[in-house]
Amino acid sequence: MLLPLLTTITTLLTTTAHSRPSLHPRSITPPSGCPLPTWQVTTFHWFNGSKSLDCIHNEADINFKDCLCGGPGVWCAPDPATCNGSMVPVCYTGMPNYQPWGFGPPETLDIDFADGLTCHDEYIGYRIHDIGSGESNCGYADRGEGRIVSFYGSSDYDTSTGHMDYVLGDGHALECANGSKITYSGSTDFELNCVHDAFFNATCTAEVFEIPVLSYDWVS
């Protein structure tokens, strides 16, 4: 009794897996007459240096003062006795310098989509996003439109599971045949591969993957 049932279930699952359309792995079927977006990540690149400035989690970095000498972005040894400029807390400068004295290259995150959307986060003199813990920066130009691409993951392992959420936002609502406006969101796990050098600087990448559309909302 049980065995045939299991066989049937297995067969069903196998068939489903094989008949998945390759472009929309697990996306919903949109309401009739409505377009469905495709969110394919073509490039994922995350550099997290072992000594990248970290103004969110690292108490020592948060309290660190460096000698700003010779203009914006020029740092000298953090010694008040020899500093020929001024001692400033590196996490609160807001200046386009990401590598104070003694620090390694700054952390950066790039997520590029097949439709042209590009997301780029990098460390500036203060922290905008906590990379790996949520929202990333997909262009300032249309921030008000509500599109949010979030990334969750760790750069500490060679291979791990990353997670990405995509919220299209009301400002990017699509139009259905009857004129109604619809917006979508989606989510997926993906394999995250990180390579560490001798200093444990991490460079993480992922194969091309798609974020399936999992839900919709009407926009009035």
Q: Which of 37, 78, 104, 146 binds ligand NAG (CB under 6 A)?
A: 104
**Closest C-alpha to 149, from 165, 133, 170:** 165
Which 61-100 positions form the footprint of ligand NAG (CB under 6 A)? Answer: 69-70, 76, 84-85
- Comparison of 25 and 31: residue with beta carbon closer to ligand NAG: 31
Torsion, Cα of 129, 132, 135, 141 (10° steps): 60
Q: Which one of the spans 11-19, 114-122, 151-159, 206-214 is the region binding ligand NAG (CB under 6 A)?
A: 151-159
Find the residue with minimal CB distance to ligand NAG: 104
E strand map for the chain: 39-48, 65-68, 75-76, 86-89, 108-113, 118-122, 133-135, 148-152, 159-167, 174-175, 181-196, 202-205, 209-211, 213-219
Q: Which one of the spans 15-23, 138-146, 185-193, 194-202 is the region binding ligand NAG (CB under 6 A)?
A: 194-202
- Comparison of 70 and 72: residue with beta carbon closer to ligand NAG: 70
Q: What angle do CA 207, 192, 201 make, to 5 degrees?
A: 115
Q: Kindly state whether residue 154 participates in binding ligand NAG, applying the rule CB under 6 A.
A: yes
Q: Which of 115, 156, 158, 189 binds ligand NAG (CB under 6 A)?
A: 156
Give 3's DSSP letter: H
Contact between 131 and 162 under an 8 Å Cβ cutoff? The reply is no
Least distance CB 102 / ligand NAG (angstroms):
9
Q: Which of 56, 200, 208, 215 binds ligand NAG (CB under 6 A)?
A: 200
**Closest C-alpha to 2, from 13, 12, 10, 17:** 10
Binding region for ligand NAG (CB under 6 A): 31-33, 48-51, 69-70, 76, 84-85, 104-105, 132, 154-156, 176, 178, 180, 197, 199-201
